[in-house]
Structure 1
């Protein structure tokens, strides 16, 4: 990606007009907000350093902000020294991770999103009932690794694409269940689930949708906004599944779409011939980055801004008792 150095129109030249549609909901979800708050409260209670296994959420700005406060990010528990607290990321971890922490008598805090934990419990119940699980998700994503780690090896098969759903073979079609990663494309997942249900009529799934409310809401807002846009900017990290899905949704609705981490990543050539731009942010991107992008646009254009609101979120998740007890 080429980044042009100057974002400001020279003095004396009129700024061109630009209509900006801003999607709502956007940005932080309740699970991300909870996870970040857990790290901040741990730093207040125990002092620095507090170790965090894996990025607490997939956003470099958030990770760097927590590093500045004393958080240390590692990939595995064997990188954590004795006598310091450790936090598990919002994406969830295999059962082997807390088991290893307990063997070392580590003080650990689990910041797994409660909606991911719900999927973990569903997986356990399906396996206990003797069902093999077809799990719809992305290979290598931390949430997928964590969910597979809740059940014995061989108890789950990963379904990544519609082609996988069309061709997967199973030992017993009458003893199947399906679950999904929480941050997938609503439309793609619906197609895959429908195909699995067509091929395996006895398959059972969750009572409610495993794709979390925040992922669904942000995709719905982009669907409402993107048809009116020539260009959509999605603020989020490249390793953020839900942010990548927002970019895909915008493209399917006919807009050019780019995923950017910060305002500095904007390439002004994208704006050639653009009259209307849409702005949204993935569930792990803070609002300050949205405002940063809007400020950068205002340096170059005369903005007319409109909010596109498709839902109002009021979800709040409880914090671990260890952090709220007096």
Structure 2
């Protein structure tokens, strides 16, 4: 049972295309701060074309071309890039940029921002950096309840875009219980692609005895999809590559659900389906719960090379 939608979302497709076009426009090497998206196969293939992935802009030669990953960066990173006179191309997902804008708006309103997410995730690091003196990261209901803030504190909340809907809803409810007048974003922060893939994997879990989600171990949205399936009472596993499928998972199983995180290429799904066919699961049905037609354009730096600045 193949979930639809699955694999690449518009933000991921845009980020990968940005690196590809930058390589064509400027020639290799093109430096990319962090992984452009959280998938090992994507990163490896771009490396073969001349992309160089680095942890900090300090590793980028002065004046070189540097792409910021889809997860966004803090103002401090932008300043560091400017000091090195880098030609910056920003591949931040527009939905992440929206959260950054909301962070700046709440900070200007002198509110304490409760950023719901995982502290060590690159997206959270970037959003936190917009207003570090105003922001607290919370990851659980317990952390909300333990905040050393008065009940009438002026607070607002924002969300990492790749979280699970149910998990986030509980934390938001805890914030409303804890504070008198919390303010939230104008619209949901969790991205449409994460929502759609979680809904699809939930539908597949309802009809199968085992769920496999293709995605890298550092892909937050892929890990959340596994947790969503498990929450439906079905065994579920993350499968970075077809070779990671363990045959014992299939013992006594008659139906298998397959999906993929928003950063996982379709070729990895096809390879897993081929492996499952070899193991006796050759008949494939599609469970479609949504249709996606979102497209994000390229940044001005690639439409007009003179527009590329730090």
| Shorter-chain TM band | over 0.9
Q: 2:253 aligns with which of 245, 257, 274?
A: 274
Q: Could you tell me how far apart the structure 2 residues matched to 1:199 and 1:64 are?
A: 45
Q: TM-score w.r.t. structure 1 length?
A: 0.91
Q: Quote the offset at 1:302 in angstroms.
A: 4.7
State the alpha-carbon separation in 1 of the partners of residues 72 and 295 from structure 2. Answer: 18
For residues 85 and 225 of structure 1, what CA distance do their matches in structure 2 show? 43
Which position in structure 2 is the counterpart of 1:3? none
* Matched residue, 1:196: 175
Report the equivalent of 2:208: 229
Q: Extract structure 1 runs of 4+ deviating beyond 3 A.
A: none
**1:136 equivalent in alignment to 2:108:** no
The answer (yes or no) to whether the contact 2:106–2:156 under 8 Å persists in 1 is yes
Q: CA RMSD in A?
A: 1.2
**For residues 126 and 216 of structure 1, what CA distance do their matches in structure 2 show?**
25
| Structure 1 residues without counterparts, runs of 5 or longer | 1-20
Q: Which residue of 2 aligns with 1:219?
A: 198
Superposed, which structure 2 residues align to 1:1-326 within 5 Å? 21-151=1-131, 153-171=132-150, 173-325=152-304
| Matches of 1:86 and 1:320, distance apart in 2 | 13
**Corresponding residue pairs, total:** 305
Please list the CA deviations of residues 73-111 of structure 1 after superposition, one character each: whole Å capped at 9, or x if unmatched: 000111111232010100011111111111221101111
Aligned mates of 2:169, 2:286 — CA distance in 1: 28
Contact 2:151–2:178 (CA<8 Å) still a contact in 1?
no
Distance 1:76 1:173 in 2: 39
The structure, 1 or 2, with the larger RCO (C-alpha pairs under 8 Å, 6+ apart) is 1
- TM (normalized to structure 2)? 0.96
Moved more, 61-70 or 298-307: 298-307
- Residue 324 of structure 1 deviates from its aligned partner by 2.1
Alignment deviations for residues 268-287 of structure 1 (CA, whole Å, 9 cap, x no partner): 11100000000000010011
